[in-house]
Amino acid sequence: MSWKSYRVIFRLYSPLHIGWRKLGNLQQTRHYVTGKVLWGAFTARMTRDLPELGNYECVGARVNNELAFSYFYPAVGERVNAWPWDDPDEFAWHYLGSYASTSLDYSRNAAEEGSLHETEFIAPTTREGKPVNLVGYIFERTGCTLPWRSVLSKLQLGGERGYGWGRVKLANGPQKYDGKALFGWRTDEKDGWPPVLIAGENARLSAHALATEFAGRKPLQGVHGEIEPLVGRETIFAGRFGVNVSEARVCYSPGGKVAAGMKIRIGDYGIWEARRGTAEG
């Protein structure tokens, strides 16, 4: 087998903002941690802690080549049982909060006009006071030499990190996983790298999937769901954080419906791509 899968659970210790979209003066967060965010967190931490690995660009390329990520979802305990797409309002009530702030005009000793804004976040505790975990999976390519396990409790995820947001600690794992029930999917152990997943009954997309890969395909191989352009900021050089903007990729959003037996391959940054063939063929 050309890779191993691991189940990883982080405990969230501060608000977590995964940039999504802006509505009025509210900056909304995604309800999950994307593969791109995980890629960025691992790249940043290993580049800073282990300069012998090279610069951001070099380490980032190795992370994509030697590791693959599922998306990570909030949970109470160790099992995800409240999906954002099943009941968004209920999910928001349990897991989301917001923080309002404004810039000050010191010449007038007052708030700067038009600067009031609100930032939504995944809270470290639910409204019932229960601690929030982030549950997901990491795939390691055979022969991987990146010391990714050593930085698991040093990662900081998402935006507003300068204010201490996005702090996580390892709660459980990395635990070697058999790949038989990965968010409703199972791994195809006969295939090579990157990992291939096969949809089970009533499976949903649990990551973004490239829409062009599935356009015009037969029902067994297709996806039905919302489509969005996926973009993000990238850091390549130290001291120039978020200067580069990634190319927009048109994707099906997590939660899209798929047919049992559909195969996908986990691409760079955790984005799913079509895999030719089905579980039966």
Q: What is the CATH number of the domain that holds 106?
A: 3.30.70
The model's pTM is 0.90
What's residue 279's pLDDT? 42
Find the mean pLDDT for residues 244-267.
89
More confident residue, 15 or 26: 15
What pLDDT does residue 102 have? Answer: 64
Look at the alpha carbons of 254, 255, 259, 261 in this order and tell me if their dihedral is positive or negative.
positive
Average pLDDT, the chain: 88
pLDDT of residue 46: 97
Chain-centre distance for alpha carbon 93 = 21
Contacts of 266 (CB under 8 A, 6+ apart): 35, 68, 69, 70, 139, 194, 195, 196, 197, 207, 272, 273
Asked whether the predicted pLDDT for residue 281 surpasses 50, the reply is: no
Is pLDDT above 70 for 93?
A: yes
| pLDDT the model gives residue 276 | 63
Q: Across-strand partners of 198?
A: 186, 263
Distance, C-alpha 86 to centroid of its chain: 18
Q: How far is CA 106 from CA 111, 118, 274, in A?
A: 8, 21, 55
Q: Which domain holds residue 26?
A: 3-278
**Confidence (pLDDT) at 214:** 83
Q: How many domains in the chain?
A: 1
Taking residues 31-44, report their average pLDDT: 97
Give 228's pLDDT tier (boundaries 50, 70, 90): very high
